[in-house]
Structure 1
């Protein structure tokens, strides 16, 4: 059985993110990528966050594409978790790639005492280098 750290293929993640990178950098000058391309980039990057920050104390949501419980701490099992980070796909992907910072991200909805801990694990893949 594969370990949790073996779930996300780094090459597939990087390719998915590279595929949406022009749109992330210039949303007015570049057409929006296909829904499937945005979905793949969100799902793979959210999965990578879950691998890098294992736990269940914060739920990160990128509706309608992906969600993950991550960050070590108290375990939440039912209903709405006390620590939630939610944003649209473009905001998430800019955070996941290092194109935006936690403090500078517009459209980021953060609630709960420990939700900001997600910032420690970003970017998931730094495409700014």
Structure 2
């Protein structure tokens, strides 16, 4: 069974968010922020019917429903780190035309779970 992600230290998150908003985020900052927010998404939307991918940093299975265990998941959401962080922090909304999100399958509308607070 894959290891669940764990939210990061709040001070580290605050500092990495500050650098990200200033446009100075390092690859390590993006990794910390993506994994932190994906961990929060796992808490807010427990389940395994949708795989959320933010390459190259992490992927998690979330949303209640039919559990996916092998092969290509029937429901996938994939986006880049910047878009995911804008959605997670509320700086963008699910369905915004400029949000670069690929979503296919049932239950891939994450608007009930985003932003993460």
TM-score bin, normalised by smaller chain: 0.7 to 0.9
- Compute the displacement of 1:22 (Å): 2.5
Return the alpha-carbon distance in structure 2 between the equivalents of residues 10 and 121 of structure 1.
22
Classify 1:103/1:12 alpha carbon distance in 2 versus 1 (closer, same or farther; 3 Å).
same
Higher normalized helix content (fraction of residues): 1
Return the alpha-carbon distance in structure 2 between the equivalents of residues 53 and 110 of structure 1.
16
Q: Aligned residue for 2:10?
A: 11
Return the alpha-carbon distance in structure 2 between the equivalents of residues 92 and 20 of structure 1.
12
The answer to whether the 8 Å contact 1:60/1:69 transfers is: yes
> TM (normalized to structure 1)?
0.77
Q: Which moved more, 1:52-61 or 1:97-106?
A: 97-106
The 5 Å alignment of 1:61-76 reads 61-76=53-68
The 5 Å alignment of 1:46-65 reads 46-65=38-57
The answer to whether the 8 Å contact 2:78/2:102 transfers is: yes
Name segments (4+ residues, structure 1) moved above 6 Å: none
1:100 correspondence with 2:82: no
- Compute the displacement of 1:35 (Å): 0.4
> TM (normalized to structure 2)?
0.85
- Compute the displacement of 1:12 (Å): 4.5
- Compute the displacement of 1:107 (Å): 1.2
Cα-Cα RMSD: 1.9
> How many residues are treated as equivalent by the alignment?
111
* Unaligned segments of structure 1, at least 5 residues: 24-30
Q: Aligned residue for 1:114?
A: 107
1:88 correspondence with 2:80: yes
The C-alpha deviation readout for 1:7-27, integer Å capped at 9, x for no partner, is 42572574133331233xxxx
